[in-house]
Structure 1
Amino acid sequence: MAYVPREEQEVIISLERELNEWHYYGDVPVLNRKWQDLVNPTRKIVEENGIIALLEGEIIGTVSISSKRKNTMTDEQRKAASDRMKKLRRAQINSKPSNEAR
């Protein structure tokens, strides 16, 4: 299979509501490798070097999917968070029992 440019690679996970089946289609080799044990393949193209170029099929078992968004902070937000952490650390240090009572 020809190389798919990075900007054209895609992974699609869809639900067929009437059958209650999840379907996976992907041409991103890294993700195909991660999903291969969770997909009952109807189409699978493996290159000579072992890379899974295309994986398509029904997702088997129970799968939890989440998307993590990068948190970008402004300089003001970063300073405010730093000040809150400093205040919290000071409060924790001051609330520790001293060893003098023993």
Structure 2
Amino acid sequence: MIVVTGKFKLTNPASALELQQATMKTLTESRKEPGCIVYEFSQVIGEGPTFRVYEEWEDEAALAAHSQMPYVIAFNDALAKAGVEEKSVMKFEGGPKTALG
């Protein structure tokens, strides 16, 4: 399993609503893709125009195919247009899941 997690902050708070709208198609379509286990995107409360992304993919091939989808390319264009002040996105291999508590 491949996990992608990240955080980014927009330069312009007014762009947050536009980015949320651009995200809806990406969320809906990404969750239908073969190999997508989890695809989540959220705004961080109390941190202005800051967003988090969390994804789980069955393997590298599924993630690579995802990055070529037209709606992902459109989302990346919308993100660039919105302007990013800070960005940190990481990818790593996840092991078996174990429930806590």
Q: So what's the TM-score if we normalise by structure 1?
A: 0.25
TM-score, normalised by the number of residues in structure 2: 0.25
Task: Select the structure of larger CA radius of gyration.
Answer: 1
- Higher relative strand content: 2
